[in-house]
């Protein structure tokens, strides 16, 4: 269980709730608050450019409409992904994975890249994102942790870039998920914090893997989970958790 290179506190979607999720502005804000680690969601444009967006559709977090993966990057690049959050972020664009990777590696930060395929594009997304990560992080001491709810995406990522660590994402783990961890050669289980128990943490640790819990916004709950030995906590509540658990940043 030695050699885990990721901090225990991780900024969810870059900057939690303080900035528009999955943007460079969010990542910069998270870093300015002391977060060395961030999680963000990556999918493909129609012309296979990896970029950051949580939803399959554009409506909630951009001024566009429709399925993001049905547009070429040249169209997506012109959208506003900040105005929905607050006027200060008006004009903030959707970021490409390569721009984000340059910010992270250039500032000595680390990443959990969640592969979030448009439904139906699981394998190609896993393959393209893993290849991009392998190239963008080549020679960097801490490689990005790839995670996904999409099993096929992680299989493709494993086949494309076996050296990149993988995490299996699931809301509430069942017996089958322990098989998935084995088959994927995953280093970590990422689940809802509501599903975490001391027994789960022990079992995952006994298998030589780590437990990551999302999304933990309550400081008391974070204290409890960290006390049980949870290895990573994704939070939207950046300021409060950073102040309370500064040693875990
Ligand atoms: O990767 C942890 C967490 O981000 C998973 O849920 O929906 O926020 O991507 P979601
Ligand atoms: Mg995510």
**170-212 residue pLDDT tens:** 999 999 999 999 999 999 999 999 999 999 999 999 999 999 9
Please say if 85 is a catalytic residue: no
Given a cut of 70, whether residue 140 has pLDDT beyond it is yes
Measured in Å, residue 214 CA sits from the centre of ligand 1 at 7
CA–CA distances in Å: residue 112 to residues 5, 30, 206? 11, 14, 23
Q: Is 178:149 a contact under the CB 8 Å cutoff? A: no
Main-chain dihedrals φ then ψ at residue 167, nearest 5 degrees:
-125, 135
Residue 4 lies in a domain: no
**90-132 residue pLDDT tens:** 999 999 999 999 999 999 999 999 999 999 999 999 999 999 9
Residue that is written with structure tokens 């393959």 in the block? 127
Nearest-CA residue for atom 3 of ligand 1? 214
**30-77 residue pLDDT tens:** 999 999 999 999 999 999 999 999 999 999 999 999 999 999 999 999
**Is residue 1 very low, low, confident or very high in pLDDT (cuts 50, 70, 90)?**
low
| Nearest-angstrom CA–CA distance, 134 and 181 | 21
> Is there an atom of ligand 1 within 6 Å of 39 CB?
yes
| Nearest-angstrom CA–CA distance, 180 and 149 | 11
Residue 122 lies in a domain: yes
> Is there an atom of ligand 1 within 6 Å of 121 CB?
no
What is the DSSP-derived secondary structure letter of residue 124?
H
Q: Is 248:223 a contact under the CB 8 Å cutoff? A: no
> Is there an atom of ligand 1 within 6 Å of 168 CB?
no
Residue 148 lies in a domain: yes
Rg (CA), the chain: 17
208's torsion region: left (phi>0), alpha (psi -120 to 50) or beta?
A: left
Task: Return the CATH number at 231.
Answer: 3.20.20.190
Q: Is 248:9 a contact under the CB 8 Å cutoff? A: yes
Domain with 180 in it: 9-248
Nearest-CA residue for atom 2 of ligand 1? 214
Measured in Å, residue 17 CA sits from the centre of ligand 1 at 13
Ligand 1 pocket test, candidate residues 214, 233, 235, 237, most atoms within 8 A of CB: 214
Please say if 54 is a catalytic residue: yes
Ion ligand 2 residues within 5 Å by Cβ: 41, 114
> Is there an atom of ligand 1 within 6 Å of 190 CB?
yes
| Nearest-angstrom CA–CA distance, 68 and 131 | 21
How many domains are contained in the chain? Answer: 1
Nearest-CA residue for atom 5 of ligand 1? 214
**Residue 119 in tokens:** 């439904």
Main-chain dihedrals φ then ψ at residue 176, nearest 5 degrees:
-55, -35
CA 188 to chain centre: 13
């Amino acid at each position: 269980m030695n050699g885990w290179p990721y901090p225990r506190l991780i900024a969810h979607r870059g900057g939690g709730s303080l900035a528009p999720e999955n943007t460079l502005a969010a990542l910069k804000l998270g870093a300015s608050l002391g977060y060395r680690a961030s999680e963000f969601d990556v999918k493909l444009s129609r012309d296979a450019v990896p970029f950051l967006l949580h939803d399959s559709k554009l409506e909630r977090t951009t001024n566009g409409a429709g399925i993001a993966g049905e547009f070429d990057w040249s169209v997506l690049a012109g959208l506003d992904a900040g105005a929905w959050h607050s006027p200060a972020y008006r004009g903030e664009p959707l970021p490409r994975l390569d721009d984000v990777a340059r910010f992270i590696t250039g500032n000595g930060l680390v990443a959990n890249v969640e592969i979030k395929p448009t439904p139906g594009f699981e394998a190609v997304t896993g393959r393209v994102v893993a290849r991009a990560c392998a190239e963008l992080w080549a020679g960097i001491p801490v490689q990005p942790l790839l995670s996904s709810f999409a099993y096929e995406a992680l299989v493709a990522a494993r086949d494309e870039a076996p050296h990149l660590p993988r995490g299996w994402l699931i809301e509430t783990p069942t017996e089958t998920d322990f098989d998935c961890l084995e088959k994927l050669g995953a280093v970590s289980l990422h689940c809802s914090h509501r599903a975490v128990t001391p027994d789960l943490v022990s079992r995952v640790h006994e298998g030589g893997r780590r437990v990551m819990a999302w999304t933990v916004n309550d400081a008391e709950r974070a204290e409890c989970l960290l006390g049980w030995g949870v290895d990573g906590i994704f939070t939207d509540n950046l300021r409060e958790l950073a102040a309370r658990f500064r040693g875990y940043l």
